[in-house]
A and B are shown apart, each in its own frame.
Chain A
Amino acid sequence: MNAKTIQLTINGEARSVDVGAGESLLHLLRRIGFTGVKNGCDEGACGACTVILNGRTVNACLTFAFQAAGGRVETIEFLGNFENPHPLQKALADEGAVQCGYCIPGMILSAKALLDRKAAPTDEEWSLHLDGNLCRCTGYEKIQSALRKLVAAQGGDQ
């Protein structure tokens, strides 16, 4: 299947991987074990497959694997661990915003992209920014309140 080898950095680790012609970044990442990246639609409409490519969030299902050649990819697995979760991971877990959890990796990575740019996004900014991340379980209410609390808490720290 016209496999081609590309070099890229995934979660800080240099990798050399074979990619199929037309293979999506989503498919590649899941195939080599980064299963935190979820497939919800494979058509760019749900955000479950969100990853960070060269510092920007992308829908991995709409990105060809070869587009990541020479680039840096970050997935949810890179963000935190049990001992030291990312504040977003902790905030959503604490607030009851994680129901089935399937949308959550994408939601968190999208949220992180905004939070990296802006210290204290407003509700409207969050909603606009997370518009591409569908969640069917929570009605977004607890996700919003988790984000609000996180922003408030971080503001308090500064």
Chain B
Amino acid sequence: MSRNFQVVNKSVRKIDALALALGKPMYAGDKVPPGALHIKFLWSPHAHAVIKSIDIRAAEQLPGVRCVLYHGNVPRIPHTTAGQGYPEPSPYDTFMFDTKVRFVGDRVAAVAADTPEIAAAAVAAIQVEYEVLSAVLSIDDAMKDGAPVIHDEPDAFAKIPVQYEPGKNLAAFVGMDVGNLDEGLAGADVVVDESYYAHYAQHCPIEPHVAFGYMDPEGRLVIVTSTQVPFHVRRIVAQCIEMPIRQIRVIKPRIGGGFGVKQEVLMEDVVAMMTVRTQKPCLLTFTREEEFVSSRTRHPIRTRIRLGAKKDGTFTAYGMDCLSNTGAYGSHALTVVCNCGSKMLPLYRAKNIHFTGTAVYTNLPVGGAYRGYGATQSSFAVESAMDELAEKLGVDPLALRQQNHIVSGETSPVFRALGEGKAGVEQSIGSCELAKCITLGAKEIGWKKRGDWRKKTGRMRRGIGMACLMQGSSIPEIDMGAASIKMNEDGSFNLLMGATDLGTGSDTVLAQIGAEALGCDVSKIIVYSSDTDMTPFDVGAYASSTTYLSGAAVKNCAEKVVKQILAVAGQMLGRKPSELAHGDSVVRAKDGSGQVTYSEIALHSLYNAEQHQIGAMSSHITHKSPPPFSAHFVEVEIDTETGALKLLKYVAAVDCGTAINPKLAEGQTEGGVMNGISYALTEEYLFSATGRMTNASFQDYKLFSMRDKPEIKTILVPSYEKTGPYGAKSVSEICINGALPAIANAIYNAVGVRLREGPFTAEKIWRGLRAMGAKA
């Protein structure tokens, strides 16, 4: 669907790209004030223990130590670190410092000192006596009778009315039923009932978490932080250190990658407290090891899928039961597990639908928001089960998907049933080009040559697999974004936004939307994003919301400004606004009788007559969360002697509505795909018997490099989403979800080994081959 766009739907250069490539100081860690103190944490060596006593005297006495914080000298305020809209759906089960530690890597105390070395020495000098408790180290043990209670403190609570039973280690529960699953299964000719486990992983932004604070000359606290959610940081810091919001300013500079892990207020509370206590600038940087152990992870989730179908391929039953490990704290516990259902259940039509999402506490690293947000975990299960069902039905898995997937104009009862901590919002699907994604992707991978694994011979065997995906675009009737625009003498515009570019290019995309509406080149837009003193509010960069939600705010705002421009131009030209047209930074009389430039208009409005600032502010909330759709295809080659897997080609066909900037949309796709592949094949957390992560470094936790990269083919399949700015939907998250199921299906197609737990290492494939009795 092509429209006549001037700026939108063009691959303009990302506005900050050159400055970043030149190595300009643009990240939080590059802007630290001289003389800043260095903060270091003392982390728990135990998975579960009560702190009997802490002695900080030796640490405090070390020369150069400026402040030591622990539970005895900070306020005890229950809160959540999850950077979500207020009131948050995550339980208030976290304290700046507590009398109990709940995982290896939990906070015990923190030190601010003149140098990192002194801070480290002081941390080592803190004497702690622990009473070690028995620990919950698996999701299956969490809710057993007599399991140790991880949150036995009386003051943890759920801020909104949701099911929360910390006494049973239950961090969250959500469920829904449409029709009757059992009846649906009973009425099926073929049933699949299998469980799939999506494992622990970390986001691994190449820039670890970093934040610093300082007191400005007027005594206000300024925090500069690598965050996706500056406004939530301000609110949660205010809560934790009991300071009025007006005393706090949060600035988000460039971020060195986030992927969800920076949607978390992980360190700013301590940075703030240290800065206020010492009245000196204070810096906190995570090491790579801390990033793995003590920040946030992908919630590991076991998903049981029950699918029932008639011989003709129609679904009679579609059931999903998710058991999520939220780790020691309930950050995003409810919403991630809920998203497992709300994103993947509507993808296929079924009369009887069932869903439960259960999140349990364990004494393991803490889950959080991670690109894909539950849909990654559940799409592995659903899309693997689809192939298993197709096999039982004896049909082509591609055809089975084509027969059952949702299409434009349809709705799903799931949309209404599952929201984020409350009922969802009914919606019917507007734009949907999934069918086309499937066709184009299948063609690109060569689906026709696929063949049955039983007929394959030889040591090296190839297989092709696929998966269908859907996500959302923003959280409807919860998320809000806002922008303001003002006009300058030279016809340029300042665009101020709360929206948070975390490397995705949203500043550029939003500038393009603004420029399109304003009728000027993107170079005329000066973007400033995310400073709580300067920019309007935005919930932040998460839930695939920025282009769709904040983009609409920018568009609305620009349209208001255009009205003002036309009014001034009308005065200057002696015309009614309706007789004028704007574009190319010029307003013309439609009859060709005259024109004025934007610069002349701005000068006129600022200096000549009826002076005023041309400018506006707009907010936007959404009533829909239109899903982007995607079909992924992958071809693998497996060495049946060793189990080694080689990725030959990966195809991602995506319907993201109008791609505001096609190159950047492709970049989101490719980055998501690659992260998904790396997760599916190599990334995993290894634990000792006592719950300590044993591979917390890039040496032992393998991220894919350029050498490991297969051929990746991205196909943008345009659609036009009427409710989005210039037809746009989201693109940032969806493509991380495909690799687990598509590769699992390809492995099966190659050698007949069905893996229901990642990562798909050579060893797992080899063991699968051995178990089948294949020649090894």
Contacts and interface: CB of A to CB of B under 8 A. Distances in A.
Contact of B671 (A41, A76, A95, A99): A99
Nearest to A75: B23
Contacts of B18: 82, 85, 89-90, 93, 98
A118 interface: no
A38 B709 contact: no
A38 B14 CA distance: 21
B27 A139 contact: no
A148 B562 CA distance: 42
A38 B207 contact: yes
A7 interface: no
A128 B707 contact: yes
Interface in A129-143: 130-143
A140 B21 contact: no
B689 interface: no
Contact of A96 (B254, B255, B666, B709): B666
B13 interface: yes
A98 B705 CA distance: 16
B709 A139 contact: yes
Residue of B23, B30, B502 with most partner-chain A CB within 10 A: B23
B207 A100 contact: yes
Contacts of B206: 38, 40, 46, 48, 100, 102-103, 134-136
B117 A1 contact: yes
Interface residues of B, number: 59
Contacts of A136: 203-206, 257, 259, 671, 675, 703
Contacts of B88: none
Contacts of B663: 95-96, 142
B22 A77 contact: yes
A131 B258 CA distance: 22
Interface in A113-158: 126-128, 130-144
B24 interface: yes
Contacts of B706: 126-127, 130-131, 133, 135, 140, 143-144
B610 to A, nearest CB: 39
A94 B674 CA distance: 21
Nearest to B31: A35
Contact of B675 (A45, A94, A96, A139): A139
B722 to A, nearest CB: 27
B22 A76 contact: yes
Contacts of A38: 27, 206-207, 256
Contacts of B698: 41, 43, 45-46, 134
Interface in B236-265: 254-259
A40 B255 CA distance: 13
A55 interface: no
A30 B698 CA distance: 22
Interface string B206-245: 1110000000000000000000000000000000000000
Contact of B674 (A92, A130, A139): A139
Interface string B525-556: 00000000000000000000000000000000
A137 B502 CA distance: 10
A137 B503 contact: yes
Given A39-B29, A93-B13, A142 B667 contact: yes
A67 to B, nearest CB: 20
B505 interface: yes
Nearest to A131: B707
B207 A40 contact: yes
Interface in A11-55: 30, 35-43, 45-46, 48
A158 B122 CA distance: 60
A70 interface: no
Contacts of B712: 139, 141
Given A93-B18, A102-B207, A102-B257, A41 B27 contact: no
Nearest to A142: B667
B699 A142 contact: no
Residue of B285, B661, B667 with most partner-chain A CB within 10 A: B667
B505 to A, nearest CB: 7
A144 B706 CA distance: 8
A85 B667 contact: no
Interface in B689-707: 697-699, 703, 705-707
B664 interface: yes
B20 interface: yes
B205 A100 contact: yes
A112 to B, nearest CB: 12
Contacts of A39: 29, 285
B23 A100 contact: no
B673 interface: yes
Contact of A137 (B115, B285, B661, B671): B671
A130 B709 CA distance: 12
B504 interface: yes
Interface in A78-94: 79-82, 85, 88-90, 92-94
A68 interface: no
B193 interface: no
Contact of A127 (B19, B26, B256, B707): B707
B503 A101 contact: yes
Contacts of B23: 35-37, 75-77, 79, 105
Contacts of A43: 288, 697-699
Nearest to A132: B705
Contacts of B256: 38, 40, 100-102
Nearest to B714: A141
A104 B23 CA distance: 8
Interface of B: 11, 13-14, 16-27, 29-30, 115, 117, 203-208, 254-259, 285, 287-288, 502-505, 661, 663-664, 666-667, 670-675, 697-699, 703, 705-707, 709, 712, 714
Interface of A: 1, 30, 35-43, 45-46, 48, 75-77, 79-82, 85, 88-90, 92-105, 108, 126-128, 130-144
**The 9 residue pairs across chains A and B that have the minimum distance between CB atoms:** A36-B23, A100-B503, A101-B20, A139-B674, A102-B256, A76-B23, A45-B698, A139-B670, A93-B17
Given A36-B23, A127-B705, A131-B707, 12 more contacts: A36-B24, A80-B22, A85-B18, A89-B22, A100-B206, A100-B256, A102-B205, A103-B206, A135-B206, A136-B671, A139-B671, A142-B670
17 contacts: A39-B29, A41-B288, A41-B697, A85-B18, A97-B667, A101-B16, A102-B27, A102-B206, A104-B20, A127-B706, A135-B206, A135-B706, A136-B206, A140-B705, A141-B714, A142-B663, A142-B670
